[in-house]
Amino acid sequence: MSSYSFPLDEALTYLKDLISIPSVSGEEQAIGIYLEDKLRGFGADQVSRIGSEDRFSVCAHITGSTPGPHILMTGHIDTVPPGDGWTCDPFTPLLRDGRIYGRGSNDMKGGISIILTVFHWACQHREQLSGRLSVVLVPDEEKFSTGVQQVLQSGFSADFALSAEPSYGKLIIGAVGKVLIQGDFIGKRAHGSEPQNGINAISEAAVLTAHLNQLPLPACSAAEPQPYVPLRIQGGETTYSTDIPDHCTILINKHTVPGESWDYIYSDLNQLVQDLPLKCSVSFQKKSPFYPPYALSEDHPELLRLKSLYEQVLQHPVQMIWDDGVSDNNCWVGTGGIPTVCLGPSGEGMHGPNEWVSVDEIQQCGQTYLEYILHSKS
């Protein structure tokens, strides 16, 4: 272990600033400007934007004094809306009992504060850094992951990445994927008093929805079978009508495991249509967002080095696990081919009221990040 200690007070200052800047998904411009100014002020070799003027990813890079791998530190800058039920102001940071409360504190401004602090340290201690260190902070993770997709489309790549999503005490090295499926049902219009002369698209969609649980669900060694989850069914006229509805659309969420491709899912759904059988015309299409499942090799050398350092900081073994949800990491790995490990401070209240992050976990995760970037000196 190095003789350097993670500067916790600096990280908490950044965290309080970040909580004070509302950044609900779709409204990330102000926090993007804050982050850009900070990274530029640290003395980064390069700071740039990728995206539109009002919604952009912030990218910063620094090159160390000796050769080494290109390491990325990343996270998302958007949050969900504050919602109801708070007993404190969601945009006024509150430090109490070793916790910092505020919207986004846990998901994931606590992690962003670590990234800022470690990058600042790297800019001040270039002689201790080998290789290239990049920071990429993206919008829109909570909805469509357009931020990370734009960065990857720009040609960005790295050898290994640390994502500071909340995952304290474990290393997330894989995750399920996600396919959003739209099903369109076309029936036959008829008068409501003569339903036998029509084909009710809503009834047909309801039949298929009720039988989704009969579809086969593949599994893998690291993840449970992932069910089909109907999210919405919508059909008929928008105003009152006695006509039999001749159109209906359903939206289905399907988390996936490796090998469970869109072609596999598409084939199963069409087979179900034939087996029922349905009277109306049915078609399926893949909608945005789409996330491929991913998995890192457990013997990846950078992963093993990170694990060893994290265990030294925590002073106990660390488990490597899969996540049962999707995130930008699915895109970094599955689309960009960048091995990405999720490691960040956690707390409670993610997407709910009274969200908080642990100060101790910021310290320990921050120390691990700091140790990790000291490639040739660790």
The H or E element that residue 99 is part of is strand 99-101
- Which residue of the set 78, 107, 246, 361 is catalytic? 78
Contact 334, 296 (CB under 8 A): no
Q: Treating both helix axes as pointing N-terminal to C-terminal, what angle do 110-124 and 8-20 enclose, rounded to 10 degrees? A: 130
168 in Cβ contact with 316 (< 8 Å)? no
Strand partners, 229: 253
Q: Return the structure tokens found at 82.
A: 């504050």
* C-alpha span between 145 and 148 (Å, rounded): 6
Tokens of 260: 């469970």
The DSSP call for residue 244 is: P
SS3 63: strand
Beta bridge partners of 180: 253, 287
DSSP 184-237: EEE-B--BTT-GGGSB-HHHHHHHHHHTGGGS----BTTB----EEEEEEEES-
The closest alpha carbon to 39, from 128, 133, 166, 104, belongs to: 133
Indicate if 141 belongs to the active site.
Answer: yes
Task: Name the catalytic one among 140, 141, 204, 361.
Answer: 141
Assess whether 159 carries a catalytic annotation.
no
Sequence letter at residue 129:
L
Any idea which residues carry the catalytic annotation? 78, 141
